[in-house]
Amino acid sequence: MPPKKKVLDAEKEFAKELKELSKEVRKLKSMEFLQVFKNPWKFMWFSLLKGLMIGLGTVLGASVLVGFFVFALAQISFVPILGDFVEDIISQVQVQQTADPSQENSFVNQYNNTKNNIE
């Protein structure tokens, strides 16, 4: 092939790619998702929903992980050395769940009582 023909073929290929690219850009501009960013109210609504979903996912994920952790602790409560430690943790969690929330200093009082019992 002569050099001019190679250049013409390359230019035709470039023009074809450019047309395809411009067609894709036009399709992208017409998408509803990008239209959201042009309207501030839609953008704020979208951001609020996104934040709620992230928060909900975080809470649910943390709950599942804590549940698995507590389940695993309950399964190893019969191990001699770790068992006593795990039973103490479980009893402390149960005490915290049954504590009266109306008492503001219940945790501090419980700490002081435990400290006095140890001494």
pLDDT for 18:
92
DSSP state of 94: H
Domain locations in the chain as residue ranges: 76-119
Q: With contact defined as beta carbons under 8 Å apart, do 15 and 23 qualify? A: no
Predicted TM-score of the model (pTM): 0.41
pLDDT tens-digit readout, 68-119: 887 877 777 666 666 677 777 777 777 766 655 555 556 667 767 777 787 6
Tens of pLDDT, residue by residue over 85-96, are: 777 777 777 776
Measured CA to CA, the distance from residue 84 to residue 86 in angstroms comes to 5
